[in-house]
């Protein structure tokens, strides 16, 4: 049972309405966000029209604002923005869907002016608008607006989608559009695309936007042929476009056609093979791998199951494709999969690229073998690959602290050897993490003990005061 001091709905209710009201008024005096929320909740008590008017005022204020919002103010701004969105959905739409639909369109119109004045480097502001776009579909379905007018509104949003917040709008609005609205939207998009094609010698960005919207419409209506017709013939030979067509043909039960399309779009893997393993983890390009997955599914769907299994195993052997290995094992008879998995793990341990092998064991996941790999091949680690080494270290630190320590040491040394001052803070954190893990490592042999490692760092990098000051801040001493 929770303590009476724990902030829970039951404990707060026990304070009584009058006491809670007094506390909220006091909080609202010093917090604009709390005050704004309370005003909206009070407006909601008077009905959908009243709260809609309050939200409308706030939208107008947000649209007319001009001050820049930096990363320090972004969090509070996002909370305010999302509050308006949530209130439209949870309060207005429940009783006045028509008002809610108009408000949500007005809210979406904020995207461009807001994103023009906000530091949205982490994408949190854009996420609010993307959530609002998803809400539009449910509200429109409930409001039942005129389908032709709705189609015109969707068309206008699609062609003004500068920040990508309307990327999924066509699919989202399709249920509310109905047959009449969908036909109207298709007609407007088709005419606009034809008009741009006549004016532009080459396909421009706006043409791509229009074509993408028409493809989304085709997908929503399950019209594979309409989707394919919108892909220029020369693009159908490219791996990405061929894969997208192949997937749709497979889903429609047209495996033979899918296979033919995929054959024409076969990628060239020479670029991936020539690239350094540390850059690509020996996995090739994502578009090529997506093509391969779809191609193998098409081979299987056309009755070539043995060939499909051979290709899956080959993909694992060549690039340690975890997805293809899982698919391969899933199709094996009972008990045979256990033996095959063990054979696969041994292959991964000896794989030519240490980075690819570590990435495989981290994503599989297999802590024990990841640790075995690190201890056996520590000299092959590339400390610059922090986006790989850090999650691997977190995975292993509980049961395999020595392996996690070696990964962090690699990142520390890469940072200091390269004098990468922007990463000193992270390197200092890694060193502190190594120190905390040291107590759980009974024997460092054949590797340096923590104290010896720190001593060597001081000998080689003692003048990098920026790093050592970061260490001191975390420990109160000098490492």
Q: Kindly list the distances between the CA atom of residue 310 and the CA atoms of 9, 329, 332, in Å, as whole numbers in the listed order.
A: 58, 12, 12
Cβ within 8 Å of residue 352, ≥6 positions away: 277, 282
Distance CA 273, CA 477 (A): 48
Q: Domain coordinates of the chain in residue numbers?
A: 10-144, 250-364, 365-475
Handedness of CA 460, 466, 470, 472 (dihedral sign): positive
Distance CA 112, CA 92 (A): 24
Question: For the segment 283-326, what is each residue's pLDDT rounded down to a tens digit?
Answer: 456 668 899 999 999 999 999 999 999 999 999 999 999 999 99
- pLDDT below 70 — which residues of the chain? 1-5, 7, 21, 24, 28, 30-48, 199-203, 269-287, 476-479
Write down the pTM of the prediction: 0.76
H or E element at residue 388: helix 386-396
**103 has which bridge partners?**
none
Q: What is the pLDDT of residue 274?
A: 42
Q: Nearest 5 degrees, angle CA 72-CA 75-CA 81?
A: 130
Tokens coding 472? 């001191």
Closest CA to 292 of 323, 335, 338: 323
Tokens coding 37? 């929320």
Q: Kindly list the distances between the CA atom of residue 241 and the CA atoms of 23, 109, 252, 287, 361, in Å, as whole numbers in the listed order.
A: 59, 32, 17, 9, 31
Distance CA 472, CA 431 (A): 11
Q: What is the pLDDT of residue 45?
A: 64
Peptide bond into 229 cis (omega under 30): no
Is residue 54 within 8 Å of residue 43, measured between CB atoms?
A: yes
Q: What is the pLDDT of residue 334?
A: 87
Q: What is the pLDDT of residue 54?
A: 87
CA 434 remoteness from chain centre: 30
Residue 253's CB: how many other CB atoms inside 10 A?
A: 9
Cβ within 8 Å of residue 48, ≥6 positions away: 91, 92, 94, 95, 96, 99, 100
Distance CA 164, CA 152 (A): 19
């Amino acid at each position: 049972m929770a303590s009476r001091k724990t902030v829970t709905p039951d404990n707060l209710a026990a304070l009584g309405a009058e006491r809670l009201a007094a506390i909220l008024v006091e909080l609202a005096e010093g917090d604009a966000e709390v005050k704004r929320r309370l005003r909206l909740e009070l407006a909601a008590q008077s009905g959908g029209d009243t709260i809609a008017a309050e939200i409308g005022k706030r939208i107008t204020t947000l649209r007319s604002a001009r001050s820049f919002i930096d990363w320090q103010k972004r969090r509070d701004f996002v909370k305010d923005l999302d509050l308006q969105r949530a209130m439209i959905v949870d309060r207005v739409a429940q009783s006045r869907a028509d008002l809610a639909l108009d408000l949500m369109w007005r809210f979406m119109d904020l995207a461009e002016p807001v994103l023009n004045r906000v530091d949205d480097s982490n994408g949190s502001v854009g996420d609010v608008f993307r959530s609002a776009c998803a809400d539009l579909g449910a509200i429109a379905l409930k409001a039942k607006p005129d389908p032709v007018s709705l189609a015109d509104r969707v068309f206008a949003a699609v062609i003004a989608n500068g920040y990508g917040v309307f990327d999924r709008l066509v699919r989202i609005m399709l249920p509310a559009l109905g047959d009449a609205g969908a036909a109207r939207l298709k007609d407007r998009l088709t005419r606009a695309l034809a008009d741009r094609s006549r004016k532009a010698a080459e396909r421009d960005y706006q043409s791509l936007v229009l074509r993408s919207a028409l493809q989304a419409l085709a997908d929503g209506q399950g019209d594979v042929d309409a989707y394919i017709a919108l892909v220029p013939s020369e693009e159908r030979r490219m791996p990405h476009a061929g894969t997208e067509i192949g997937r749709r043909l497979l889903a429609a039960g047209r495996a033979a056609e899918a296979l033919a399309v995929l054959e024409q779009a076969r990628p060239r893997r020479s670029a991936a093979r020539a690239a350094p393993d540390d850059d690509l983890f020996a996995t090739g390009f994502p578009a090529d791998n997506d093509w391969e997955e779809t191609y193998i599914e098409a081979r299987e769907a056309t009755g070539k199951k043995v060939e499909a299994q051979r290709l899956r195993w080959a993909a694992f052997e060549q690039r340690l494709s975890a997805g293809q290995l899982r698919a391969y094992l899933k199709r094996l008879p009972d008990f045979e999969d256990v033996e095959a998995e063990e054979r696969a793990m041994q292959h991964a341990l000896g794989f030519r690229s240490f980075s690819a092998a570590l990435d495989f064991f981290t994503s599989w996941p297999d802590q024990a073998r990841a640790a075995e790999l690190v201890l056996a091949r520590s000299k092959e680690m590339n400390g610059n690959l922090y986006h790989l080494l850090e999650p691997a270290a977190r995975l292993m630190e509980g049961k395999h602290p020595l392996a996690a320590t070696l990964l962090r040491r690699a990142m520390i040394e890469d940072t200091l050897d390269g004098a990468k001052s922007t990463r000193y803070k992270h390197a200092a954190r890694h060193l502190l993490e190594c120190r905390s893990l040291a107590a759980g490592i009974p024997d460092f042999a054949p590797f340096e003990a923590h104290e010896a490692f720190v001593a060597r760092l001081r000998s080689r990098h003692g003048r990098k005061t920026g790093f050592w000051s970061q260490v001191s801040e975390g420990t109160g001493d000098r490492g």
